[in-house]
Structure 1
Amino acid sequence: MLGDFNSTRQSEAYQLLNTTFQNAGETNLQSTYNDFSPDEKNHEEIDFIFTQKFHVEQFYVVTKTFDGLFASDHYPVVALLSL
């Protein structure tokens, strides 16, 4: 399950999901929300990939901009999973 949860790790929604699923980015502390700004003071980790019965091979946040512009106010999150 993945998506723009607009919830931090401290939120009730995250806590509920994390009791049943594993956060693929458990060790990731990188921001996934950029607010269309390079100023990191407003950045937060609010996008997650939750898995169950998969091994997380890789997890990363794509922070690339295009000519200095953000494609979205959220960075894409990517996970490589194996059974």
Structure 2
Amino acid sequence: MSQTLIPFETLREKGVTLCKVQIWRLEKAGKFPRRVKVSAARVAWVESEIDAYVERRIAEREPAPKPALVGVAA
């Protein structure tokens, strides 16, 4: 499990395209991993927690509709 800290700028590479305000709102609601204060002016997130968040979002999506079979009598 990675304990690497990643900055806001790296979240996009992980598939998180939310703005800073939306991330803050989701954090406050307990729906996004909490940030880690790195310094007075910088925050980051634990990489493994972001990866798990993205995996959960993928798992929560609705399944794709099954394609219709063409030419098959029901």
TM-score range, shorter chain: under 0.3
Bigger radius of gyration among the two: 2
- More strand by proportion, 1 or 2? 1
Please give the TM-score of this superposition, normalised by the length of structure 2: 0.24
Higher helix share: 2
